[in-house]
Amino acid sequence: MKKIRFVGLDVHAETITVAVAEPGRNGEVRSLGSIPNRLESVRKLVKKLEPVDQLQACYEAGPTGYVLYWQLTELGVKCEVVAPTLIPVKAGDRVKTDRKDAEKLARSYRAGDLTPVWVPDEAHEALRDLVRARLAAKRDQLRARHRLSKFLLRHGQRPSTKVKAWTVAYLNWVKKGVHFDQPAQDATLTDYLHEVEHEQERIARLEQAIDDAIKTMPERMRAVVEALQSLRGIAKISAVTVVAELGEVSRFKKPRQLMGYSGTVSSEHSSGERTRRGGITKTGNAHLRRIVIEAAWAYRHRPGIGTTLRARQKTASQPGGERYCLEGTTPIASPVHQAHSEGKDYTEGSHSRRPGAFGIHLGYRGCGRE
């Protein structure tokens, strides 16, 4: 039987602090000091700790990404990236150093108290970076629009006719119909307007890159993206985001694990005969949770398949995509809309909802029952 040695790594941008836990419950846990965060130093460390088939290493997920994971894997060392928020912490521990963190990782790893995270492959990581870049651009666009609109509002500038904000007509009015007596204010307007246009071009460029990425992604991933678009509330960007953030759906053995990964399960504080459930935990992947909840709001509307959705279903590569859409649409939403159309409250068990609050509520209070 192999005697596995557990290596804890406290990783920073420039240094890696190393600790080793020897086999056995009472095995020694010792620090090996710090090494530069460079491939040559990592290779020397692995050679020092050989044989590699008796090593298991771990480090916390963080801003350094998965570079060290791939380096150790290529060197033959089994490595896991663990969730930092799920590492056991002693209540009275008030001393934190890199050495102590590395020793705690090695000790907890040996005890089996750490929870590994999913490490995306090269294709998933590249797609995820691109999707998150587009999300950052959308948020920057919102800020840029707010700056421009509030600047115009502060100076009493409004279009003479009713124009919907941020349309072509609205931007033409800003360019040609807004003028200030002070040159400094004209310079401010030009800068704000330039930023809005820049963000719009940036988003278009990133969305084109997403289209190109879909065409070149592996067939298995592309099939999932197309199949997801056969569901209501999920179009191209939402489907790509789900695939990029979720990875392989087959890695989840139960639906409960899938929902827990996105943090959309109800929190609970029960004791004895008292059962108390609250809102969703929000402890999972925030990007996945956001896109899933946004998609779920489509089920507020009456079930039906429009022209756009029907066209997406025809292009879905998964057979039966339309059947899944119908099964996932009608039975869930119909009771809600039927009660709403009759002017009654929709009641599920002992929990009643107002007519105006119909729809699918992920993590809705009181809906976390088994």
Superfamily for domain range 5-111: Ribonuclease H-like superfamily/Ribonuclease H (3.30.420.10)
- Per-residue confidence band for 338, with pLDDT thresholds at 50, 70 and 90: low
> CB-based contacts of 115: which residues, under 8 Å, 6+ apart?
82, 83, 86
**∠ CA 167-240-202, rounded to 5°:** 40
Distances in whole angstroms, Cα of residue 353 to Cα of each of 264, 298, 344, 360: 20, 18, 9, 11
pLDDT at 368: 35
β-strand pairing of 5-11 with 29-36: unpaired
Using one digit for the tens of pLDDT, what is the confidence trace for 167-200? Answer: 999 999 999 999 999 999 999 999 999 999 999 9
159 confidence band (pLDDT: 50, 70, 90):
very high
Determine the Cα–Cα distance for residues 353 and 344; give it in Å rounded to an integer: 9
Q: Which of 17-21, 34-38, 77-81, 346-350 has the lowest mean pLDDT?
A: 346-350
**8 Å CB contact between 101 and 95:** no
Domain coordinates in residue numbering, the chain: 5-111, 122-217, 222-357
**Cα separations in angstroms, 262 against 17, 203, 250:** 31, 26, 15
137 C-beta neighbours (distance < 10 Å), count:
20
Among 129, 147, 142, 146, which residue's Cα sits nearest to residue 199? 142
The pLDDT of residue 363 is 35
Distance (Å, rounded) from C-alpha 79 to C-alpha 304?
48
**pLDDT surpasses 50 at 329:** no
d(CA 21, CA 30): 7
Q: Per 3-state DSSP, what percentage of the chain is helix, strand, and coil (rounded to 5)?
A: 55, 15, 35
pLDDT at position 331 over 80: no
Alpha helix ranges (H) inside the chain: 39-49, 67-74, 98-111, 122-154, 168-177, 183-216, 219-228, 236-246, 255-262, 286-296, 307-315, 321-341
Give the pLDDT band of residue 160 (cuts 50, 70, 90): confident
The residue among 203, 78, 75, 182 whose CA lies nearest residue 135 is 203
The overall average pLDDT reported for the chain is 86
**Dihedrals phi, psi of 37, to nearest 5 degrees:** -85, 70
Q: Is the pLDDT confidence value at 93 over 70? A: yes
Q: What is the pLDDT of residue 364?
A: 31
DSSP secondary structure letter of residue 249? G
Q: Which of 17-21, 260-264, 333-337 has the highest mean pLDDT?
A: 17-21
Please tell me what DSSP assigns to residue 302: P
